[in-house]
Structure 1
């Protein structure tokens, strides 16, 4: 089915392959990594930013430890049509770069979720060097003579460097010997560069443990933008999330969120990972204004026990709670005379915090 969709798409792009399309000025390409604590809204920020962008103008991929360069760029795979043939199957990188090449008057976006959960340097491979873009006033020509200087000259927004990849090149050209992209004639000998109408937006959890780190050489080719872990109560959905009651406790998620994050900062003060351990605004989501007790226990309490307060459990949790199983059981089924949040040793402080007029 996906093959048919790709074929239809190529047919729709046929005009731009055969006719020289003048390139209209577009916004400069962006390369941004949105980072922050789990649940702070990184993916949602990108979704909001691209909500009016047509589906064909964006490709989304999730990096993970087993994800490879071949999957990202493309690879030769067998296909059966009465007999077996071996054909190049494009990955998300190649799919979006072709669309961007053939539609130079439109903006395109490659979205990479969890960019540090895979080995980004290995996944990008030699295309890593394409992340350097030509800046305003910089140009790079394809060795043309001075009399023809305007032709085949790459300008602001194109990759500063290039890589040779015959499979990607052939996929971009399709059945044509060459295609015209603005003043660039793209033929079988043309190397691959990122075009100026292709942006790359990525997300990264700063608290991830035991995952691949992004070295400075990789990070410096992206703008880094912190997604702040805060409630914007002017937005109805965020206000509902803040006011969502944690089951039947009478305690709002926004109040608990403020209390526990303050406790995390105070308890782990001095440790390099303090900020990264905080709970994001959307660490758990409400359903109809309620956060289910089981969801809260299995996600929030488990995270606090296993990760945040791993070495501080006696300071945080009530006496007698010495296993995760007991913690969850005590919260989900409090014994007679007890309340759910009695699982915390400092429950009285939580109650006082909740009663305060502001965070």
Structure 2
């Protein structure tokens, strides 16, 4: 909760993102090694929050600001809830970032362009949260107070910067029954769970590089079997074999991509690829590319035993890595080409 109205400490519940595979085949269990940059990426947040968290992070030049900090803070404040019933505190804090009306008057803007600055609008709330945290991080960095600047900024967000000044740092456990102290501790300890794949830097121009750059904006987006398309991530479905996790249909409640909808989204509308991995291979197989000649954006395909039905597609991301949506239970990620899928299943690459 922002300024003076301190939220009760809520035990953290791990948010499990759901994950990844082609629309037309059974989910694979191949191992994939993720790359991370210590917080530059993002995972485990609802799709409607992801865009705004990344924008808020990009707008802040303070080195201590990372997307996972904003994500962990939003989870602690509201668990990403947006309804007035679920996101109104007993003290009157409002919306997913839990702004008090007086504080909202200072930081609120119409970030989403709908004509109203509202703490209930996800874009408005997250961008206001980012602006306030950015300011607090700067105050913390220049304050001379001991300790982690993120801890100081979080304490200022929760209890007011005046309390940080009063105590010369994060208020102790004796202040407000330890609520600010625990607020800070919980958020810092749960940031790691929201750290996603590193932000991919794509150089160059052309159809492939542009497609890869577009796909990279979806790093950390959940996998949803049958979900996604040219317009972005969407809820998927289960077909009796695919889309299940722990015996339950995960796809029908997950907004995300599968492997071929991600590549379709990446190239659309400059190149309108068909929907499935098999069809995408058929549409581009007349332009094969050897492993030694791969360029960013090239499509890579896998079939069981290296022959027959194509069950997976990925995009070459450079430096021996691919960007793909692997299977249910995972998310859009970077992985080494050599371990993204079974090496014996690799069919080859094409250049759309």
TM-score (norm 2): 0.27
Higher strand share: 1
Bigger-Rg structure (1/2): 1
TM-score (norm 1): 0.27
- Name the structure, 1 or 2, with higher relative contact order (CA <8 Å, separation 6+): 2
